[in-house]
């Protein structure tokens, strides 16, 4: 069997293991497939996929929400902008002189 075919077979075994559908004769192979980085990655990816498929839809926002938010943001006061030189000076490390 070529490596690509082996990887595909391992992913199928891992998927079956997650679904509790591994044939008894393949259980040892499925567990062995988890013992390498590719198997661990597949296990994690399949769990993320399952989590997404089981996730509940988010509620829709009320009508006009985006317009109300934009209006409130437009009313927010803006902080004064610093010049480039002031920004660089403010970001420079402070070096304190010790006792002389």
Q: What is the mean pLDDT of the chain?
A: 81
What CA–CA distance (Å, rounded) separates 100 from 89?
A: 26
For residue 3, pLDDT beyond 60: no
**DSSP H helical ranges for the chain:** 3-18, 27-33, 37-54, 65-75, 84-91
Q: Which band of pLDDT confidence, cut at 50, 70 and 90, is reported for residue 58?
A: confident
pLDDT of residue 31: 93
pLDDT of residue 41: 93
Residue 14's nearest CA partner among 41, 51, 54, 48 is 41
């Amino acid at each position: 069997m070529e490596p690509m075919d082996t990887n595909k077979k391992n992913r199928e075994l891992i998927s079956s293991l997650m679904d509790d559908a591994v044939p008894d004769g393949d259980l040892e192979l499925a567990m062995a497939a988890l013992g390498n980085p590719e198997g661990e990655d597949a296990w994690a990816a399949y769990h993320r996929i399952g989590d997404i498929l089981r996730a509940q839809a988010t509620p829709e926002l009320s009508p006009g929400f985006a317009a109300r938010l934009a209006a409130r943001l437009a009313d927010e006061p803006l902080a004064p902008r610093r010049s480039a030189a002031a920004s660089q000076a403010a970001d420079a490390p402070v070096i304190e002189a010790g006792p002389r």
